[in-house]
Amino acid sequence: MSVAATHRRELSVGAAYGALLVALALFAPAFYQRANLRDVLVGAAPVLVAAVGMTLVILARQIDISIGSQFAICAVVAGTLAKAGLAMPIAAAGALATGAALGALNGVLVAGFGLPAIVVTLATMVGLRETLRWVTEGVWVRDLPPGFQWMGLGQDAGRFAIPGLALLVWALVAWGMRHLAGGRAVYATGSNAEVARLTGVRPRRVVFGVFVAMGALTGLAALLSAIQFIDVQTNSGVGFELRVIAAVVVGGTSIAGGRGSLVGSLLGVLLLATAGPALTFLGSQAYWDRALQGLIILVAVAADAFGSATRLKARP
Amino acid sequence: MRNAALLALLLGAVACRGTGEHGKTIAMMPKNKGNPYFASCRTGAEEAAKELKVRLLWDGPTETDPAKQNEVVEAWITRGVDAIAVSVENKEAISTVLRKARARGIKVLTWDADTEPDARDYFVNQATPRGIAETLAGHAARLLGGKGSFAVITASLTAANQNEWLRQLRLVLAERYPDIKLVDVRPSDDDRKRAFEETQTLLKVHPEVKVVMAIASPAVPGAAEAVKQSGRTDVRVTGLGLPNDARPYLKDGVLDSAVLWNTKDLGYLTVQAANALAMGTLKPGVSSLTAGRLGAVKVEGDQVILGTPFTFTKDNVDQFNF
Amino acid sequence: MSYERGLALCLVLEIALFSIIGWNFFTPGNAGEIVRASAEIGLLALALTPVIVTGGIDLSVGSLLGLCAVVLGVAWRDAGWPLPAAAAAAIVAGVAGGGLNALLVARLGIPPLIVTLGTYSLFRGLAEGVTAGVKNYSDFPASFLFLGQGGVGAVPSQLLVLVAAAVGFWLMVHRMAAGRTLRAIGFSPDGARYAGVSVNRRLGAVYLLSGMCAGVAALLYVARLGQAKADAGTGFELMAITAVILGGTSIFGGRGSVGGTLLGLATLGVLQNGLRLADLPAELAGVVTAALLLAALGANRVFQGRDGT
Amino acid sequence: MTLLRLQEVSKAFGGVRALRGVSFDLRPGEIHALVGENGAGKSTLVRILTGAVKADSGTIEIEGRRVERADPVVMRGLGVAPIYQQPALLPDLTVAENIAMGLERGGPWRRVDWRSRRERARQLLARVGAAVDVDALAHGLRMAEQQLVEIARALGADARILLMDEPTAALTDREATRLFELIRDLRAHRVGVVYISHRLEEVAALADRVSVLRDGELVATRDMAQVDRRELIRLMVGREIQAIFPKRAVPIGDVVLAAEGLACRSSGIRGVSFQVRAGEILGFAGLVGAGRTELARVLFGLTPADEGVIRLRGAAVRVAAPAEAVRLGVAYLPEDRRRHGVIGEMSIAANTTLAALRAITRAGFLDFAAEREIATTYLQRFAIKAPSIDAAVATLSGGNQQKVALARWLATRPSVLVLDEPTQGVDVGAKAEIHGLIVDLAAQGLAILLVSSELPEILGMSDRVVVMRAGTVAGVLDRAVATQERIMTLALGHAESVPA
């Protein structure tokens, strides 16, 4: 089977993204100012980092809708550590570690106790969000040291480093998923966990691993988002999980597991990150944004279903 | 103020219920508990509650949700409280429940945002929408030199307060500043990052905009940061915001002015008024109310007036901490 | 001791606890308020039970409720239709929304999680678009408001609608041939198709039904609040799904019970109301709900032994 | 020195004792066949040897050393390579990766060398004689190709112990012969092979020794030379088998079902015409991939026909979906019993009435009394061994599950019954009972289409035999003239000599 056949989804989402860019070039060339492209990339960086983690989770035939709450907690942790006078690298490490720990909580419940991921992460989403609200009572983390914003690198360097770091993380994981045994084990687990077990893969360990990776990457996403500001709001990340899942699914990763790629997810992130501001540039009223975003998801998914007779995968 | 462990909480709830009441029980509700604006109001409310030795119940939906506000009031009616004070998310929706509370002999106040006048005894008014619109329009006109265009970042598209202020703002513009054009209104859903992204896009879609007006507390730092990062020194920000949020940007100069009222005093005054109402000292015909450290506060008809909107600038912002 | 008996015991304990630490909790009036507050989510949870029994899910019911509320407002206020006609329009809008879900899930075979993730945004977006986010509709006639705010003594008027829906769904899932085929589809879609069950038609039906119930729930919501706005029903889908899962229905499909869903709904309703009457912070509701959900999952696995009837 | 020794190995699955104190040994350079009824414990034994399942008690020794923790990775390290009955491939990954996943070892941070993976896969596939593209995704392969990929993977592991569970079930005779040569070649290289098969003629041709498993116990181990077929069957079943096939002369009525020029592009069926009469058993023979199951799926409406006409009692009908087929009185007992034949999680009663819900529904409501009555009559009539009709079908043995599946279709009072491999994977005892039932049904006037890969069953049961090849009818043989050789000649489509 030729490359086109196996990567048909990535090509279709790439084509859709190309069409959007052409439309912008024709009707709203102002979109292509250097400043706007940079802002779109800086804005998309946290979503990309989380989308990398979500791709792994969905490839392993799981789902995580609690990353919105994890995002808020990790940002607050980063701010609190920085405010306590710790050096920024330690605060950053704290955010990632918190994410990894929260991911591990999901991992233990799903991989350890074999509970369904959708319900476990629904519970952790609600539980973590309300606990954070109860503890912080809505008070933002303020009076952060000057070194917090842009990790002390200054605005210009910071606005280059954030998308750069996100793309680097994406490239590393994309390479790993293709060339490391661990990456192939994720594909195998999502394709058929029982068969994977027989070929020596440890599905439960893989599932635990993808949830921890998801948590750590959510921590990084929260950090990359928080350091763009001088204080940390405590109710951030609401709806973050739906935006990330939408990007990964539009990018062609199948919810049934085993099929999909990080290239597709990158294109999905770029498509949805561009669609938001593009609607404004193309003059659509704010109150139609959400409807059009929903439409993009449905059209992308329906196109895929029309394209190929989706293979009905038997449940494990 | 950090809550004790869960068990202690449960025991606390049982214990204090059992020992009977000393002062009145006042139930106070914000629009959403996650908003720093209401968090600062709460500090003032608790200060007054301590002074007056009343039992303050602070509860409400975590996200702005009119249905939840009704449920909380219903619960308070069932629980039995002396006075209810609500910052109203949805004028019509809450009026039915508040009338029911008054029918049960519970004193009802609204603060920060009002409901139908017949559904409550008094409205603790920090500033009239008209007053707010005039102040904001004034700042915009000043910054634009009487001519030019500006854009607004609001809370959510469905937020009742903001929509009322916008309606008044358009009236004021039509009456007094015909040459000033409001080009667009973008939502921030009370999320600072969303306000930041909307402002960024706004500046590029409407390069002619020289003033960004953020009329929700989390939107002020969001819009200001976006303008700062865009490097557009020709664009200034104003709007309704808390001094603590606004301080760094006021010092920076990107934020010209933040209009608001002393939210701590608003919370403080609301509890004072509720207590006075419950004790009977605040009743129709009264023209002023001695409210603790605030002294004599003007009462016009059924509105307790905190005062005219206050403008924070880089010079006076340091005197405030909320 | 079946799962449902365990949940019922947990509900009784919860009521007992709040009767002690809550103010005037154990009163008919308060019970009426709990029913009134959980009526809309109850209707959505009842409609979601057959959806989840087929192994599907519907994230769009909350947004669809908002869209139907707006359709009611637009038809009645802007188009000037008589209220019954406007109410019918709202329900038809619900069925249309459910129809879109049905088309994509049943005919094109797209996983329901993804379809309803898309329609979650689409329906809410349409509601905001139609009203430009700003417009809201109120001043509904007293007769309509009675549906949401009225009642006979402590018994709220919503109870009638909720009981009717509960009986209807209970009969469908547990006593009718349709329910049996939904279970078969939930346990094994292929197995059902090879047994001559028209899988696509049945799947389509449950999503249509879910849409219709969102429409009816919208009427209850607007009647209760006296006001229709684009943000109606925000977050209701998660509460409804929580009630169904708490009730013991398996997220993978096949095993499920309408009785369990009602118990799950009651547990959540009592929790929210009880915490408030005990002057405990609202955030605690979220934390306890999360713990209950995880406990339900654990208990569910223990009781998995029983065969699916 | 023994290569592999099992001592007193026992295993039970929730009350059902699959293995009871089994002791078994395998010598280097030996093909040791393992035979027994289905459910006798063969597959369980293989899954214990590959580490897929842990034994409850007993010891496993490889080259004299006791194996403590027997999980898939450890056993593979000790040179054990499995070939499962259901090919265990990862559908979304390429053939090359599927083969590599079985062979490579090492931690998650190990680099994957795609070039050497594809090269090694190509070599192994060539050795097995499979014309399969190494970059193809596994879910696109035919069943036979999947089996060959699994065999290639086992060879690649240069295993010292090869476990083969029904490896030829999906292979053509040509591919099977090639496999036998490979196995004999491995034996020459001192590899030990445990060979499991229902086809006793294969066991006779290949094995040095044969062990018989019955109801979880190893009842006998013999040198192949000292035992003949009849004794083997006796050992397997534990009682004498009278007439193999209870065929009876039955009055043949008029034509019930006729197909004229049936074609279905998506499943490769073209120009199929035949007739079947009431009371007649029409056998369908042919090689794997000849299109017999595909034809059955066309008749049942799972993949509707693009061209041609189906006539029921003379009237042309359009069967667009299984639901319509059932209404028209056409019933289909599918080949994959576990996934399609029954719904394991549901009770016997629910499974029995699932296709005939109309019969027990009054105004939409289920008549539970009627359901229990139907389920109980078939429970007794088919002697289904189960605690009660409320027991989940998954808890039953293979043979009893097949009876429930059959009962489901009889509950719909069909006039045409399509049986697809009705006795595959069913123990010899239950097989005879099912054959008896089939003949009874024919006697009651049902038109029966019997698709089977076992020529003895086709010859023993059919009034006429339709032989299919490459999606169409190669020829129809009357019972009197039908022989294995003639069928194979038609099935192969040229005069190639029939393999010994």
Tell me the chain C residues in contact with residue D343 when contact means C-beta distances shorter than 8 Å: 184, 187-188, 191-192, 195
Q: Which residues of A206-232 are buried (b: 16+ CB within 10 A; e: fewer)?
A: bbbbbbbbbbbbbbbbbbbbbbbbbbb
In a domain, D335, yes or no: no
pLDDT range class, residue D499, cuts 50, 70, 90: very low
Domain that holds residue D373: 343-412
The reply to whether D253 and D398 lie within a common domain is: no
Looking at CA atoms only, how far is residue D33 from chain C in angstroms? 35
Q: Which residues of D54-65 are buried (b: 16+ CB within 10 A; e: fewer)?
A: ebeebebebeee
Residue type, D230: R
Reported as type and span, the H/E element at residue D63 is none
CB distance B137 to B291 below 8 Å: no
Tell me the chain C residues in contact with residue A128 when contact means C-beta distances shorter than 8 Å: 290
Q: Among B59, B78, B163, whose Cβ lies nearest the Cβ of C30? A: B78
In tens, the pLDDT along B124-165 reads 988 888 888 999 999 999 999 989 999 999 988 777 788 889
Closest CA to B117 of B135, B102, B138, B106: B102
Q: Which of C194, C200, C309 to mutate to test the interface with D (most CBs of D within 10 A)?
A: C194
**Paired sense of beta strands D4-13 and D57-62, if any:** antiparallel
Chains with 3+ CB–CB pairs under 8 A to D are: A, C
Residue D361 β-bridge partners: D366
**Strand runs labelled E in D416-494:** 416-420, 447-451, 464-469, 472-478
Answer yes or no: is pLDDT of B3 > 60. no
Looking at CA atoms only, how far is residue C19 from chain A in angstroms? 24
- Residue B91's pLDDT is 82
pLDDT range class, residue B245, cuts 50, 70, 90: confident
**Paired sense of beta strands D416-420 and D330-333, if any:** parallel
Q: Which residue bears the tokens 């429940």? A: B97
Number of domains in chain A: 1
Domains, chain C, in order of start with CATH, read 3-15+33-299 (1.10.3470)
Question: Residues D187-212: what's their mean pLDDT?
Answer: 87
Chain A residue with minimum CA distance to C103: A302
Looking at CA atoms only, how far is residue D48 from chain A in angstroms? 12
The reply to whether D108 and D124 lie within a common domain is: yes
Question: Residues D409-425: what's their mean pLDDT?
Answer: 89
Reported as type and span, the H/E element at residue D278 is none
Regarding predicted confidence, which is higher, D268 or D330?
A: D330
Chain C residue with minimum CA distance to B61: C282
In tens, the pLDDT along D107-153 reads 889 999 999 999 999 999 998 888 889 999 998 888 778 888 988 88
Tell me the chain A residues in contact with residue B219 when contact means C-beta distances shorter than 8 Å: none
Q: Among A63, A286, A298, whose Cβ lies nearest the Cβ of C119? A: A298
Question: Residues A23-47: what's their mean pLDDT?
Answer: 91
In a domain, A217, yes or no: yes
Q: Does C192 touch chain D (CB under 8 A)?
A: yes
Query: Taking the CB of residue D314, how many other CB atoms lie within 10 A of it?
Result: 9
Q: Do B42 and A30 touch (CB under 8 A)?
A: no
Whole-number Å distance between alpha carbons of D145 and D149: 6
**Paired sense of beta strands D307-312 and D269-277, if any:** unpaired
- Residue A314's pLDDT is 33
Chains with 3+ CB–CB pairs under 8 A to A are: B, C, D
In a domain, A201, yes or no: yes
Reported as type and span, the H/E element at residue B302 is none
**Paired sense of beta strands D161-165 and D80-83, if any:** parallel
Whole-number Å distance between alpha carbons of C144 and C132: 25
- Residue D205's pLDDT is 87
Whole-number Å distance between alpha carbons of C98 and A210: 34
Whole-number Å distance between alpha carbons of C110 and C119: 13
Answer yes or no: is pLDDT of A3 > 70. no
- Residue A213's pLDDT is 97
In a domain, D338, yes or no: no
Answer yes or no: is pLDDT of B309 > 70. yes
Whole-number Å distance between alpha carbons of A3 and D19: 48
Q: Do D346 and C187 touch (CB under 8 A)?
A: yes
CATH of the domain at D445: 3.40.50.300
- Residue B154's pLDDT is 92
- Residue B14's pLDDT is 52
Question: Residues A22-46: what's their mean pLDDT?
Answer: 91
In a domain, D42, yes or no: yes
Q: Do A181 and D107 touch (CB under 8 A)?
A: yes
Where along chain B do the CATH 3.40.50.2300 domains lie? Answer: 15-126+263-307, 129-260
In a domain, A106, yes or no: yes
The reply to whether D190 and D158 lie within a common domain is: yes
Q: Do D101 and A259 touch (CB under 8 A)?
A: no
- Residue A284's pLDDT is 81
Task: Please give the structure tokens belonging to residue D69.
Answer: 């923790």
CB distance D424 to D405 below 8 Å: no
Whole-number Å distance between alpha carbons of B153 and B170: 15
- Residue D42's pLDDT is 82
Closest CA to D137 of A10, A4, A1, A182: A1
Q: Which residues of A267-298 are buried (b: 16+ CB within 10 A; e: fewer)?
A: bbbbbbbbbbbbbbbbeebbbbbbbbbbbbbb
Q: Do A115 and C297 touch (CB under 8 A)?
A: yes
CB distance D4 to D160 below 8 Å: no
Of D181, D216, D237, the last residue of a domain is D237
- Min mean pLDDT across A58-67, A170-179, C91-100, D253-262 is at D253-262
Whole-number Å distance between alpha carbons of D202 and D204: 5
- Residue D259's pLDDT is 93
Q: Does B107 touch chain A (CB under 8 A)?
A: no
Interface size C-D, in CB pairs within 8 Å, comes to: 85
Closest CA to D382 of D369, D401, D354, D358: D401
Q: Among A178, A191, A209, whose Cβ lies nearest the Cβ of D90? A: A191
Per-run averaged pLDDT (10 residues), chain C, 309 residues: 88 94 89 92 97 96 96 93 94 97 94 94 93 81 87 87 96 95 95 93 96 96 90 92 94 93 95 90 90 89 56
Q: Which residue bears the tokens 């990158």? A: A266
- Residue C309's pLDDT is 39
In a domain, A184, yes or no: yes
The reply to whether D459 and D487 lie within a common domain is: yes
Closest CA to A283 of B152, B155, B188, B206: B206
Is domain B15-126+263-307 in CATH 3.40.50.2300, yes or no?
A: yes
Reported as type and span, the H/E element at residue D362 is strand D361-362
- Alpha-carbon distances of D53 from A198, B6, B48, rounded to whole Å: 10, 45, 69
Whole-number Å distance between alpha carbons of B305 and B114: 13
Give the ranges where D167-269 is alpha helix by DSSP (H): 173-188, 200-206, 229-237
Whole-number Å distance between alpha carbons of B83 and B107: 4
Q: Do D347 and C171 touch (CB under 8 A)?
A: no
Q: Do D108 and A259 touch (CB under 8 A)?
A: no
Q: Among D322, D358, D366, whose Cβ lies nearest the Cβ of C194? A: D322
Q: Phi and psi for D452 in degrees, rounded to 5? A: -150, 145
In a domain, D337, yes or no: no
| C-alpha angle D384-D387-D389 in degrees, rounded to nearest 5 | 70
Give the ranges where chain A is alpha helix by DSSP (H): 3-6, 8-27, 34-59, 67-83, 88-107, 117-136, 155-179, 181-191, 193-198, 203-226, 240-250, 262-281, 289-307
Closest CA to B39 of C45, A303, A134, D215: A134
Answer yes or no: is pLDDT of A106 > 80. yes
Tell me the chain A residues in contact with residue B200 when contact means C-beta distances shorter than 8 Å: 36, 39, 43, 277
Coil, helix or strand for D199? coil
Q: Does C167 touch chain D (CB under 8 A)?
A: no
Q: Do A196 and D110 touch (CB under 8 A)?
A: no
Looking at CA atoms only, how far is residue D461 from chain A in angstroms? 34
pLDDT range class, residue B20, cuts 50, 70, 90: very low
Give me the count of residues in chain A.
Answer: 316
Contact yes or no, B with D (3+ CB pairs under 8 Å) = no
Q: Do B10 and C29 touch (CB under 8 A)?
A: no
The reply to whether D428 and D386 lie within a common domain is: no
Answer yes or no: is pLDDT of D495 > 50. no
The reply to whether D186 and D68 lie within a common domain is: yes
In tens, the pLDDT along A185-235 reads 999 999 999 899 888 889 999 999 999 999 999 999 999 999 999 999 888
Q: Do D92 and A187 touch (CB under 8 A)?
A: yes
Q: Which of A195, A208, A255 to mutate to test the interface with D (most CBs of D within 10 A)?
A: A195
Tell me the chain D residues in contact with residue A196 when contact means C-beta distances shorter than 8 Å: 90, 101
pLDDT range class, residue D88, cuts 50, 70, 90: confident
In a domain, D87, yes or no: yes
- Residue C308's pLDDT is 39
Q: What single-letter DSSP state applies at residue D93?
A: S
Give the ranges where D78-172 is alpha helix by DSSP (H): 95-103, 114-128, 143-156
A310 CB-contact burial (10 Å; exposed 0-12 / middle 13-18 / buried 19+): middle
Reported as type and span, the H/E element at residue B63 is none
- Residue D446's pLDDT is 92
Whole-number Å distance between alpha carbons of B194 and B222: 8
Question: Residues B62-82: what's their mean pLDDT?
Answer: 88
CATH of B129-260, one of 3.10.440.10, 2.160.10.10, 3.40.50.2300, 3.40.50.150: 3.40.50.2300
The reply to whether D127 and D251 lie within a common domain is: no
How high does pLDDT run on average in chain A? 90
Coil, helix or strand for D218? strand
CATH of the domain at A255: 1.10.3470
In a domain, A105, yes or no: yes
Answer yes or no: is pLDDT of D254 > 60. yes
In a domain, D334, yes or no: no
Whole-number Å distance between alpha carbons of D184 and B252: 86
Looking at CA atoms only, how far is residue A221 from chain B in angstroms? 13
Task: Please give the structure tokens belonging to residue C233.
Answer: 């029903």
Answer yes or no: is pLDDT of A4 > 70. no
Number of domains in chain D: 3
Residue type, D66: R
In a domain, A312, yes or no: no
Question: Residues A5-16: what's their mean pLDDT?
Answer: 79
Q: Which residue bears the tokens 């608790």? A: B46
CB distance A52 to A175 below 8 Å: no
Looking at CA atoms only, how far is residue C105 from chain D in angstroms? 19
Tell whether the torsion through CA atoms of C109, C112, C117 and C118 is positive or negative: positive
Domain that holds residue A111: 3-307
Answer yes or no: is pLDDT of D487 > 90. no
Residue D83 β-bridge partners: D164
Residue D57 β-bridge partners: D10
Task: Please give the structure tokens belonging to residue A315.
Answer: 């449940």
Q: Does C305 touch chain D (CB under 8 A)?
A: no
Regarding predicted confidence, which is higher, C90 or B308?
A: C90
Answer yes or no: is pLDDT of B187 > 80. yes
